[in-house]
Amino acid sequence: MMEFLPRECERADSYKLLSECYYLPDQKLIRTLSGLKESRVALYSEITKYVPEINEIESLKVDYSKLFVGPYKVLAPPYGSVYLEDGRRVMTDSTIDVKNWYRRERLNIVFKEAPDHIAVELEFMYFLIVKQMQAVRDSDYKGATSYLKKQSAFLNTHLGRWVPVFAEKVEKNAKTMFYQNVTRFTESFIDQDSKSLSLRLHFPASLV
């Protein structure tokens, strides 16, 4: 337990931090990232490898807008349906499936973004890990196993399927090192976490 909770907290916090990186950047984000630069947590050091200065916020916003918003051509759409549904965006099967995932967890979400936006899906992984940790604290190991299975299934059904192509587009089109790095790390982190979850589910003794 002494090893489990800190490890899972790092996983959860990494998903939450990555989620925040895919909203329109502001000074709060930069201060948060700057505060983590000296962290001894390896995951945080990778995320914060290229943290812009406060005075670079406008160039970061320009890059963000061109990559993820528009107004004309969106260079790296941050929506799962674009990659899972041949470019379609409006209420696709994959979008409906994501909403069903949230509904089954009884999440009453007022979306800032579409339900299959990368920031929303990353934050959902944070939620599932927090629920898993709570189950362990309550000695509900069946519940903890259930949430591990949900994490693995969600990565295999959604994030793990489309983020690699998304990351490729960001790396090709980003003008700032920040977005190149954070997206590269997002892809690597999801891939490694998915493999780790599969291993933990395969060997029940390693579930917690």
* Per-residue tokens: 170: 């960001």
pLDDT score for 133: 94
Task: Find the farthest-apart pair of alpha carbons in the chain and give their distance in angstroms, rounded.
Answer: 52
**Residue 86 predicted with pLDDT over 90:** no
Tokens linked to 161? 């399927």
**Between 70 and 160, residue with greater pLDDT:** 160
Q: What is the DSSP letter of 157?
A: I
HSE, CB side, 13 Å, CA atoms: give it for residue 48: 20
Average pLDDT score over residue span 71-95? 86
- Spell out the domains of the chain, with CATH numbers in brackets: 4-206 (1.10.3480.10)
CA 150 to chain centre: 15
pLDDT higher than threshold 90 for residue 195: yes
Answer yes or no: is pLDDT of 57 > 60. Answer: yes
What's the token pair of residue 12?
């959860």
Q: Are 155 and 149 in contact (CB under 8 A)?
A: no
At 117 the three-state DSSP class reads: strand
- The predicted-structure confidence for 133-191, as pLDDT tens digits, reads as follows 999 999 999 999 999 999 999 999 999 999 999 999 999 999 999 999 999 999 999 99
Q: Are 171 and 184 in contact (CB under 8 A)?
A: yes
What average pLDDT does the chain have? Answer: 90
* CB neighbourhood size of 62 (10 A): 12
Q: Output DSSP code: residue 79.
A: B
User: 208 falls in which pLDDT band (50, 70, 90)?
Assistant: low
Residue 205 pLDDT level (bands cut at 50, 70, 90): low
C-alpha–C-alpha distance, residues 16 and 122, integer Å: 7
pLDDT at 68 over 80: yes
